[in-house]
C-alpha cells in the first residue's frame, strides 16, 4: 500500500512536541547507542539519507532546516503534528522544515529522508539540513564499533 501524507503542525504544537522530543533525547543519550547503518547518496541536486532502525529501538531525529520527504518501510510509531502515529508498511511523508521527531521501531524499519541540496559532500549536506549535524551518527564513527546491534527477532 502506498500512503502519502503531508504534515504541517502549527507553531504551538511544534514547540510542545520539540520540547518533549528533547526530553526523551536526553534520556536516550544516557543509554547504549545503536548503530543505525546510515547510508547517504548525493545525486541530481538531492541528498538521500537512509537509516536502518532495528526492532525495539527508540530514537530521536535532528531538527531539520529544510522541507523534505520521508520514505519509510517497516513498523514504527513516530511523533507527528497530530500526536504519535504508528506507520506500518510503506509510507511517503512530506515534512516541513523545523521539525524534530521521536520514534520507536516495533519491527526493523528503513527510514529515508530526501532533500534538495547543492552540497558536494555528505558533511556539507548534513550541515545544510540541520544545525544539529555534530550530533549525527555519521559524525561519531565509534558508535558503529562500540554498539552491537540487538538480536533480530525470529532468528
Q: What letters, b where the CB count within 10 A reaches 16 and e where it falls short, cover 46-78?
A: ebbbbbbbbbebbbbbbbbbbebbbebbbbbbb
pLDDT digits (tens, 9 = 90+) for 11-26: 666 667 777 888 877 7
For residue 81, pLDDT over 80 is answered with no
Any domain includes 151: no
Any domain includes 49: yes
Any domain includes 152: no
Any domain includes 154: no
Which domain CATH number covers 99?
Answer: 2.60.120.10
Any domain includes 76: yes
The stretch 85-108 carries a mean pLDDT of 93
pTM exceeding 0.75: yes
The stretch 111-119 carries a mean pLDDT of 95
Instruction: State the CB neighbour count (10 A cutoff) for residue 1.
Output: 6
Proportion of the chain above pLDDT 90, given as a percent: 39
Any domain includes 43: yes
Averaged pLDDT score across all residues of the chain = 80
For the chain, what is the domain count? 1
Q: Is the dihedral of CA 58, 96, 99, 66 positive or negative?
A: positive
Retrieve residue 155's grid coordinates: 532468528
Query: Which of the pair, 155 or 10, is modelled with greater confidence?
Result: 10
Q: Which range is least confidently modeled, 123-127, 128-132, 139-143?
A: 139-143
The stretch 103-131 carries a mean pLDDT of 90
Q: What is the pLDDT of residue 27?
A: 81
Structural domain span for residue 50: 2-146
Instruction: State the CB neighbour count (10 A cutoff) for residue 141.
Output: 10
pLDDT digits (tens, 9 = 90+) for 27-39: 877 888 888 888 9
Amino acid at each position: 500500500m502506498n500512503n502519502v501524507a503531508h504534515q504541517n503542525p502549527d507553531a504551538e504544537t511544534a514547540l510542545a512536541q520539540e520540547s518533549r522530543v528533547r526530553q526523551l533525547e536526553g534520556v536516550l543519550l544516557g543509554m547504549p547507542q545503536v548503530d543505525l547503518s546510515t547510508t547517504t547518496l548525493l545525486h541530481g541536486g538531492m541528498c538521500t539519507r537512509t537509516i536502518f532502525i532495528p526492532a525495539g529501538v527508540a530514537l530521536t531525529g535532528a531538527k531539520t532546516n529544510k522541507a523534505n520527504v520521508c520514505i519509510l518501510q517497516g513498523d514504527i510509531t513516530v511523533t507527528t503534528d497530530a500526536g504519535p502515529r504508528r506507520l506500518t508498511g510503506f509510507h511517503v511523508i512530506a515534512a516541513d522544515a523545523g521539525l524534530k521527531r521521536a520514534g520507536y521501531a516495533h519491527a526493523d524499519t528503513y527510514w529515508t529522508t530526501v532533500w534538495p541540496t547543492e552540497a558536494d559532500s555528505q558533511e556539507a549536506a548534513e550541515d545544510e539540513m540541520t544545525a544539529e549535524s555534530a550530533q549525527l551518527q555519521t559524525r561519531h564513527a565509534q558508535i558503529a564499533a562500540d554498539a552491537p546491534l540487538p538480536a533480530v527477532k525470529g532468528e
